[in-house]
A and B are shown apart, each in its own frame.
Chain A
Amino acid sequence: MTDTILEIRNICKSFSGVPVLEDINMSIKKGEVHVIVGENGAGKSTLMKIISGVYRKDKGELFFEGEPVQINNVQKALNVGIGIIHQEFNLLPHRTIGQNIFLGREPIKSNFLKIIDHDLICKKSKELLDYLELDIDPRTLVYNLGIAQQQMVEVAKALCFKSKVLIMDEPTATLTRKETVKLFEIIKKLRSEGVSIIYISHRLEEIKQIADTLTVLRDGRVVGDLSIENASIDQIIRMMVGREIKDQYERQYHLHGEEVLRTENLGAKRFSNVNISLHRGEIVGLSGLVGAGRTEIAKTIFGEDAIEKGSVYIYGKKYQRMSTQKATRLRIGLVPEDRKEEGAIMEMPIRHNIVHAVLPRLFKSAVISRKTELSVAKKYMEELGIRAPSVNKLVKLLSGGNQQKVVIAKWVCADCEILIFDEPTRGIDVGAKAEIYGIMSELVERGKAILMISSDLPELIGMCDRIYTIKDGMVTAEFSRTEATQEKILAACV
C-alpha cells in the first residue's frame, strides 16, 4: 500500500507496571486528517509521545513509508519527518518568533565563527508565517503573542522541519471559536499539500468538521476505526464510554444531613461564578475535561489558591479568605491529584505522614510521644488497609495504591468532616481502586461529606450522589444519581 505513510503495529507501553497502551494498531494515510478520540487517560497522549520519540515503547513496531523505523528520541522523529505540537507549549517566551522556529538549528553564515544568519531566519520565518496567513513580524517576542498565535508558531516550527506527519495534541483546548476556525483552514491547506495530520481532541463537535478518519481509544486499546461519513456523534460517545458500570461501587444511599459546604459565586484563577453545595453523607462529583478548572476549584476551597470573587460557606459560616491552615482547622482535607508532589512526603516514613495533619491536636503539649504516634499510625494503617511491613517504611517504597491510602489516612486520622478527592484512583491498579471506593463509601456512611473530582466517568457515576459538570471554568449542569448517564455528562463537558 503506497498511500500509507505511518503504520503502527502492536505498540504496548506501561508505566510502573500499569499498562497504558495495549496492542495498538493503526495506519495513517498520506494527506489525511486522522482524528484520535478517547476519554482522559485513554492513552492518546502517551501514544503520540511514543510516535514522536518522547517516550520509548515497550513493544511493537513503527513503519514510516513502508520502512521500519526506530524512533528513540525527539531528534530522530523530526529527522524522519514526524513533528508534534504538544499540549503544553515548547516555546521560549523571551525569544523572538524566528528564534523559536529555528531553535537548535539556526542557519549560520560562516562555519568558523558560527555567526547566526539573522536575516535568513527572518526571511524564512516570514515565509512560514505568510503561509500560515499570520501577519506578524518574526522579530516579535513570543511573550507578546496570544495563545492562538503561539499555537501557530508551534505549527510553523513543525512545518519548518518539513514534517510529513504532524501530530496535534488537543490544539484547540485553549483557542476561541474564531481561532479554531482559522486553525482548521490551515489544517485543510496542509492536507491538500499531502501532509498527514494526527489530530487529538476531546471536542466531538469539531471532529465532523475536519476528520477524514477516526480512531477511538479506550483504556489503552483501539476500540474502533471509523471513516467519518458513517459515524455519528452518539456512536462515537458510545464507543468512548463503552465500559459498563459494575458493582464495584458499593454505595448505600441515605438521607443527606446538613449542608457543610457551599460556594457562592466563587471565582478565582480559571473559573468564575461557581455555585456548588455539599451535605453530610453525600459524595458530590465534579466532572469536566482536564483544564476545565476542577482542580482549581478544589484548591481554592482548600485555601491554597486565593479567592478572588464570591465566598465559601463552611458549616454555614461565611469565609471570603481561606488558607490551608484555616481549612485544616475546619476539618477539611484535600487528597490532591499529584500524590508524589503534593499528597505525601515520599522521603518520610508512613507514620510521619499519617499523623502529619493531626499533630497539633494529638499532642496538645507540643511534645510528640512516640508511643502514641506509633499506636495512632498503626491503627489507621490497619483501618485503611495500607499494606506495608511496618509504619516506619518510607512512603516512596510503597505501591501507588498504598501511597494514596496513606494520603487518605492522613485526613481520616485528622477526623476531617469534608474531604476533597482529586482524581483519587489515577494510576492505581484495579484492586486498590475498589479498596479506595470502599473507604469513601464508609466515610460518607459515618456522616462525612466528600467532593470528588474524577475523569473516570463510570467511577464518578457509580460513586456520586450528585454530579456537577464543569466546562471552561463554569458549572454547566447538575445531575442527580438517578439522571446521570455517561452520555449526558460527556455532552455537558465537551
Chain B
Amino acid sequence: MKRIVGFALNYYKIILLLAILAVSSSVTQDPLQNIKNMIMIQAPFVMIYSFGMTLAVITGGLDLSLGSIAAFSTCAAAFLIIKDQIFIGIAACLLIGAGLGLLNGLLITKAKVNPFIATYGMDWVIRGAVYIMMGGAMIYHFSSDFKIIADGSFLGISNLVYIALAILAILMFVFQKTVFGRNVYSTGANIKVSRLTGVNTDLVIVVVYMISGVLASTSGLLYVARLDCAEAFLGKNFGLQALAATLIGGTSLQGGKGGVGNTVIGVLIMVFLMNCLNVLKVSTLWQDAVFGLVIVVSALLEMAKQRYANYLQL
C-alpha cells in the first residue's frame, strides 16, 4: 500500500497525462492527428507564457499580469508591424514586456506589495490601458513576412514548436546552469539566507519578473501572428491557465522548487485536458471552472506529497 501511494504521488503527472490521453483518443477518429495538433499548435503558446509564471513561482511569488502584458505589448507593437516595420515592432513588443515586468518587480521588491496583489493590480491597470489604446478597435491583415513566424513550418514541424523548444532550452540553461539561475532558486527557497550570503535578492526578483514579462509578450506576439489580429481582449486567461499548468507540473508555491521542465508536462496535461473536454463535447464554458479545479487539486496533491514525505521520514 505504502508503495502504491508513493508511486502514485511521484508519478501522478504521467499517470494523469496518459489517462487523459487515453480518454480523448478513445473518442476521436484520428488520435494521432489530434495529438499532433495539440503538441504542434496549442501547446507552444501556452508553454511560453507558462514558463514566465513558473519562473515567478520559483522566486516564491507569481505573475497574474501575463495576459494583459501580452495584450498591451502586442497591441502597441501592432501599430508598427502593420506599417511593415516588423523588426522594430517585435523589439518594441519585447521591450514593453520587459518594462512592465520591471514595474511588477519594483512593486514587489521596493514597495513590498504582496506579489499576488501587485500583479493582479497591474493586470487591471494594464488591461485598462489596452482598452484606452485600442478604443474597441482591432488591428489585422499583417504582412505575410510577419505571419510566417507562427504559420510557417520547417521539416514538417511548425515554427511554433521550434520557438518554444528554443526558449525552453535557453531557460533550462540559464536556470539550471548559471549563477543567476542558482540565485533565483536559492532566493525562492529562502530569501533571508540568500540575502545574508550576499545575493542581491531584489535584483534577482526584478529580473525574473522582467523575463516573465518578455515571455508573455513573446507568446502574445505569436498569437497575433497566428490569428492575424491584435485585440484588447488577448490573453484574458493567461494568468489562470499558466498558474494551473505550473502548479500541476509540480512547481511549488513555496518557491525554490520545480522548474520549466516540470511545466512542460504541466502544460501538456492542461492542453490534453482541454482537448479531451472538447472531444467529449463538453462546453468550452467549463474552462474557467476546470482551471480553478486543477489549481485546487494540484495544491492539495502538493500537500499530500509533503505529508507523505514527512511520514516516510518519521
Chain A interface residues (CB < 8 Å from chain B): 302, 304, 324-325, 327-329, 334, 336, 341-348, 352, 356-357, 359-360, 363, 366-368, 410
Contact = CB atoms under 8 A, between A and B. Distances in A.
Interface in B172-197: 177-180, 182-183, 185-186, 189-190, 192-197
Nearest to B187: A345
Given A345-B194, A347-B257, A352-B186, 8 more contacts: A336-B196, A344-B193, A345-B189, A356-B194, A359-B182, A360-B179, A367-B178, A368-B177
Contacts of A341: 190, 192-193
17 contacts: A304-B196, A324-B195, A324-B198, A327-B198, A328-B197, A341-B193, A342-B193, A343-B193, A345-B189, A345-B193, A345-B256, A347-B189, A347-B257, A357-B198, A359-B179, A368-B179, A410-B197
Nearest to B255: A347
Contacts of B199: 325, 356
Contacts of B185: 348
Contacts of A334: 196
A342 B192 contact: yes
A356 B186 contact: yes
B200 interface: yes
Contacts of A363: 179
Contacts of A328: 197-198
B198 A345 contact: no
Interface of B: 177-180, 182-183, 185-186, 189-190, 192-200, 256-257
Those 3 A-B pairs whose CB atoms lie nearest each other, nearest first: A328-B198, A359-B179, A345-B190
Q: Which of B179, B182, B186, B193 has the most CB of A within 10 A?
A: B193
Given A366-B178, A367-B177, A359 B183 contact: yes
A301 to B, nearest CB: 13
A328 B256 CA distance: 22
Contacts of B183: 359
A302 B198 CA distance: 10
Residue with the highest number of chain A CB atoms closer than 10 Å, among B178, B194, B198 = B198
A348 B186 contact: yes
A154 to B, nearest CB: 30
A417 to B, nearest CB: 14
Contacts of A329: 198
B182 A352 contact: yes
A343 B186 CA distance: 12
A327 B198 CA distance: 7
B178 to A, nearest CB: 5
Which interface residue of B178, B179, B200 has the most chain A CB atoms within 10 A?
B179
Given A347-B257, A348-B189, A302 B178 contact: no
Nearest to A335: B196
A302 B177 contact: no
B160 to A, nearest CB: 28
Nearest to A299: B196
Contacts of B197: 324, 328, 356-357, 410
Contacts of B189: 345, 347-348
| Central interface residue in B186, B200, B256, by most chain A CB within 10 Å | B186
A328 B193 CA distance: 13
A359 B178 CA distance: 9
B212 to A, nearest CB: 20
A345 B256 CA distance: 10
Contacts of A352: 182, 186
A421 B189 CA distance: 23
A326 to B, nearest CB: 8
Nearest to B192: A342
B184 to A, nearest CB: 12
Nearest to A332: B198
Nearest to B173: A367
Nearest to A334: B196
B97 to A, nearest CB: 23
